């Protein structure tokens, strides 16, 4: 066994169908009397239903959460929180909604309960990406971590098939990079392998039968494990590429992750044989993991080319420059020519090499 350092983030997880009914008791356990419920405009009705469920324990709904946690939206939410004298935060939604609750917790120290309705994984990470003046900056702090996470499968049944697939691959990307992280360790690698396997077997069913609660529950279990990996160890090339592509070209977050992932795996494969063996085991089948992953995009009905989700061809050079100007640690050095080729292949939807 190689030497390793293992850091665990504290977590209280309520997992299972119907567990949302325990939200009030969880708020009381935290000593809260008046929660602010946070949603996107699209999930406003879900926020209203929670308000009715909580009765006096709910102060107000803020339904203005949006992608990339812009600080001006956080300022408006903070004013609403103070005007309503709320003393706890309840986020119900995907990574965007949970990001806003984290931004508010950072500014107020209030406790948070997260109810994820996608597979992005933010609810179990001490990470926040905030955008100000068009620049997205990421920070890590234990004060960002929600005190309680409720994984209630019923809240995911409405997530459309395409979003379920891309969000599931976003989760897988966290676990893939955890397998070859600089600070990889045996416990997180176990979670990564299990998380990838759970998503690999459940996503095809979820896409065909979005109302299949068993497959949804499996996917949520995988997403929790993969998110835990993201919260525990450092990420590498794949996350750097997606940060640049999403942040500088405003590409949709989850689809960008899904398209880039097979290419990032192929780039690192030769220098990471043991992580590749684990990944191959988790995915099942006989193909190389990057080929398997690329084929999976097609079978889940996802786009395979960055040009099909809004990437401009003239932006490829700028993306490369940005990746190289402030590169993350990666098991294989980040080099201009092979990365230029990687970006070209991802842009065109070519098979990863
Ligand atoms: P999202 O939160 O932006 O949600 C996308 C859309 O789907 C929204 O309109 C939302 O209201 C809707 N939606 C969510 N769940 C639904 C459901 N069950 N039924 C119907 N509609 C639903 O998307 P996301 O991919 O979950 O999150 C992306 C954001 O999260 C990005 O900004 C990303 O940077 C961030 N993120 C952060 C971390 C972290 O650790 N800090 C991790 C992963 C993602």
**DSSP per-residue codes, 182-193:** TT--HHHHHHHH
Tokens of 82: 């103070």
Place of tokens 């299949």: 212
Nearest CA to ligand 1 atom 22: 159
Exposure on the CB side of residue 24, measured as CA atoms within 13 A: 11
Taking the C-alpha atoms of residue 138 and residue 128, their distance in angstroms, rounded to an integer, is 6
Mutate to test the pocket of ligand 1, among 37, 120, 138, 162 (most ligand atoms within 8 A of CB): 120
Output the CA 118–ligand 1 centroid distance in Å: 6
pLDDT for residue 247 = 85
Mutate to test the pocket of ligand 1, among 9, 93, 261 (most ligand atoms within 8 A of CB): 93
φ, ψ (nearest 5 deg) of residue 36: -95, 125
Taking the C-alpha atoms of residue 277 and residue 82, their distance in angstroms, rounded to an integer, is 52
Residues with CB under 6 A from ligand 1: 40, 42-43, 67-68, 93-97, 99, 117-118, 120-122, 125, 127-129, 155-156, 158-159, 163, 167, 170, 230, 253-254
* CA nearest to 282, candidates 177, 224, 201, 227: 201
pLDDT for residue 53 = 98
pLDDT for residue 55 = 98
pLDDT for residue 211 = 98
Contact 296, 341 (CB under 8 A): no
Taking the C-alpha atoms of residue 206 and residue 213, their distance in angstroms, rounded to an integer, is 9
pLDDT for residue 311 = 98
pLDDT for residue 140 = 96
pLDDT along the chain (353 residues), means of 10: 93 98 98 98 98 98 95 98 98 98 98 98 97 87 98 98 98 98 97 98 98 98 98 97 92 96 98 98 95 97 98 97 91 97 98 95
pLDDT for residue 134 = 74
Q: Which domains does the chain have, with CATH numbers?
A: 13-156 (3.40.50.1970), 161-348 (1.20.1090.10)
- The model carries a pTM of 0.97
**DSSP per-residue codes, 41-107:** GGGHHHHHHHHHHHGGGEEEEE----TT-BHHHHHHHHHHHHHTT--EEEEEESHHHHHHHHHHHHH
pLDDT for residue 326 = 83
Q: Which residues pair with 60 in a beta bridge?
A: 36
Taking the C-alpha atoms of residue 251 and residue 182, their distance in angstroms, rounded to an integer, is 28
* CA nearest to 176, candidates 266, 86, 92, 256: 266
């Amino acid at each position: 066994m190689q030497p390793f350092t293992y850091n665990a983030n504290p977590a209280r997880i309520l997992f299972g169908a119907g567990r949302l009914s325990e939200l009030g008791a969880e708020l009381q356990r935290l000593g809260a009397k008046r929660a602010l419920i946070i949603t996107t405009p699209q999930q406003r009705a879900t926020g209203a239903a929670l308000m009715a469920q909580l009765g006096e324990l709910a102060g107000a709904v803020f339904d203005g959460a949006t992608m990339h946690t812009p600080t001006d939206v956080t300022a408006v939410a903070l004013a609403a929180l103070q005007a309503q004298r709320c003393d706890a935060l309840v986020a119900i939604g995907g990574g965007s909604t949970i990001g806003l609750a984290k931004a508010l917790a950072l500014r107020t120290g209030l406790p948070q309960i997260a109810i994820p309705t996608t597979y992005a994984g933010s609810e179990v990470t001490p990470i926040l990406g905030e955008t100000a003046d068009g620049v997205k900056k990421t920070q890590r702090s234990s004060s960002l971590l929600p005190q309680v996470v409720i994984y209630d499968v019923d809240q995911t049944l409405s997530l459309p098939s395409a979003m379920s697939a891309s969000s599931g691959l976003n989760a897988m990307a966290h676990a893939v990079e955890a397998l070859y992280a600089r600070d990889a360790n045996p416990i997180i690698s176990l979670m990564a392998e299990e998380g990838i396997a759970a998503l690999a077997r459940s996503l095809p069913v979820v896409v065909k039968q979005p109302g299949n609660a068993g497959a949804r529950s499996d996917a949520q279990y995988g997403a929790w494990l993969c998110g835990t990996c993201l919260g525990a160890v450092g990420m590498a090339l794949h996350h750097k590429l997606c940060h640049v592509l999403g942040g500088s070209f405003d590409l949709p977050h989850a689809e960008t992750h899904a398209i880039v992932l097979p290419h990032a795996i192929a780039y690192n494969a030769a220098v990471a044989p043991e992580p590749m063996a684990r990944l191959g085991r988790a995915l099942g089948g006989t193909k190389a993991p990057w080929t398997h992953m690329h084929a999976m995009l097609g079978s889940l009905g996802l786009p395979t080319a960055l040009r099909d989700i809004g990437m401009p061809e003239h932006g490829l050079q700028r993306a490369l420059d940005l990746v190289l100007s402030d590169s993350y640690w990666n098991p294989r050095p980040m080099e201009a020519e092979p990365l230029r080729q990687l970006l070209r292949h991802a842009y065109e939807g070519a098979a990863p090499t």
